[in-house]
């Protein structure tokens, strides 16, 4: 875990990979729970037998938005900010899912700080987040995430 002692330290980190999370497994039960929560029951996610027979991936795959929804877990697991009273997810500028996440995959996220700008009461950081699959040749999610940190 990377510890940022105060918001003033962010500027010196621009352009650098700042942190990498640990691996997290994505199993069928997590995929099904996400499908139930979002009412997205497409068979490629929720019917492993059919996915094995009919999908080009020959297995069930995680929803792209499930992969994205793991971003807060990866971020809090990889980065800690001291002297910050509140963190707000401000949104995304760009989002792509270049490769699928087959059931049973292990994922981790890399965080590169692209920009920092002041906002009232704090700082806004733009993070290039790359979520990768263990053994994969392409990222499974690439996002430009905007986070606001208030001291």
Q: Tell whether 142 is covered by a domain.
A: yes
- Total structural domains within the chain: 1
Q: Tell whether 50 is covered by a domain.
A: no
Q: Tell whether 32 is covered by a domain.
A: no
- The structure's pTM equals 0.95
CATH number at residue 83: 3.10.129.10
pLDDT tier, 20 (very low <50, low <70, confident <90, very high otherwise): very high
pLDDT in tens, 48-95: 999 999 999 999 999 999 999 999 999 999 999 999 999 999 999 999
Let me know if 71 is exposed, middle or buried by CB neighbors in 10 A (0-12, 13-18, 19+): buried
Which domain covers residue 133, as residue numbers? 2-25+61-150
Query: Beta strands 79-81 and 2-4: pairing type?
Result: parallel
Please tell me whether residue 119 adopts helix, strand or coil conformation: strand
Q: Tell whether 44 is covered by a domain.
A: no
Task: Using alpha carbons, select from 95, 103, 87 the residue that is nearest to residue 139.
Answer: 95
**What tokens does 41 get?**
């029951």
Output the pLDDT for position 74: 98
Output the pLDDT for position 65: 98
pLDDT tier, 139 (very low <50, low <70, confident <90, very high otherwise): very high
pLDDT in tens, 118-138: 999 999 999 999 999 999 999
Output the pLDDT for position 4: 94
Please tell me whether residue 51 adopts helix, strand or coil conformation: helix
CA distance 93 to 106: 26
């Amino acid at each position: 875990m990377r510890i940022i002692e105060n918001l003033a330290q962010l500027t010196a980190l621009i352009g650098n990979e700042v942190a990498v999370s640990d691996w997290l497994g994505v199993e069928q039960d997590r995929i099904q729970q996400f499908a139930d929560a979002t009412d997205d029951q497409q068979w490629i996610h929720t019917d492993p037998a059919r996915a094995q027979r009919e999908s080009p991936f020959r297995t069930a795959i995680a929803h792209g938005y499930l992969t994205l929804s793991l971003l807060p877990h990866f971020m809090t697991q990889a980065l800690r900010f001291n002297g910050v009273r509140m963190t707000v997810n401000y949104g995304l500028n760009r989002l792509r899912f270049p490769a699928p996440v087959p059931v049973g995959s292990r994922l981790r996220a890399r965080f590169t700080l692209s920009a920092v700008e002041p906002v009232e009461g704090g700082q806004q950081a733009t993070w290039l987040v790359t979520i990768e699959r263990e053994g994969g040749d392409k990222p499974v999610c690439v996002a430009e995430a905007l986070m606001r940190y208030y001291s």
